[in-house]
Amino acid sequence: MIRDFAKSEDGATMVEMAIVSTLLFTLVLGFVDFGYALYQWNAATKAVQLGARLASISDPVATALTGAGPTTTPGAPVVAAAYGPFVCKYTGSAGACSNAGAFNAANFSRIFRGDTANTNDNACPAAGTDQRVGMCHFFPGLHRDNVVITYSATGLGYQTRLGGPVPTITVSLQNLTFNFFFLGGLLGFGNITMPSMLSTVTGEDLKSTAP
């Protein structure tokens, strides 16, 4: 009887299925998690591209930018590093720009949320049919303190230009992570820090009325 029990293979398939199923579910849920991470990567990339475009045709967040360029030699080139850089971002509820560049919250909001006004700065309102969308519409998990807008002089434009200096504008992200749902619970995976996803463009017509 004991010899027969030892030789019996009844239930072996169930045990094998339990082992294989655990590995299979881990792989499938891992694919789902990494697929979601790829979606977050793509959404963040699109958000900074849009943000850079909006920043290039909107009133500058650093209001000191318009008068920052040198004016001693009309028509002469504005050399690199002639002003700034103005690095503008939120820290908690307060916005600020480096190098004494006064921070304009409304101009920042236009880049972050588009033309749709909202009293909650971290909320992403529904986009209007005839209004520009903002960065948050491309990446819904984005908060305003994740966005960094930099205006720098890289040798573009000339002194006493009517529209002001021509900055190079960089929009990047900070303090964002890839969120893992299944792998975090099953295997204890921690969230991975997302790179800055920066996008750089040349300032065009720095006015909110530009097309």
**DSSP letters along 121-186, please?**
TT--PPPPTTS---HHHHSTT--GGGEEEEEE-SS-SBTT-TT----EEEEEE-S-EE--SHHHHH
Residue 210, pLDDT score: 43
Across the chain, mean pLDDT equals 83
Percent of the chain with pLDDT over 90: 34
Is the model more confident about 61 or about 192?
61
For 195-211, b where at least 16 C-beta lie within 10 A, e where not — what string? eebbbebebbebeeeee
Cα→Cα distances 23→27, 30, 180, 182, 185, Å: 6, 10, 18, 13, 15
pLDDT over 50 at 7, yes or no: yes
Residue 92, pLDDT score: 82
Residue 117, pLDDT score: 64
pLDDT over 60 at 12, yes or no: yes
Residue 170, pLDDT score: 96
Q: What is the mean pLDDT of residues 113-134?
A: 76
Asked if residues 72 and 34 have their Cβ atoms less than 8 Å apart, the reply is no
Q: What is the mean pLDDT of residues 3-25?
A: 66
pLDDT digits (tens, 9 = 90+) for 164-196: 889 999 999 999 887 777 766 566 667 778 888
Residue 24, pLDDT score: 80
Residue 171, pLDDT score: 97
pTM for the complete prediction?
0.82
pLDDT over 60 at 101, yes or no: yes
Q: How confident is the model at residue 115 (pLDDT cuts 50, 70, 90)?
A: confident
Is the model more confident about 15 or about 46?
46
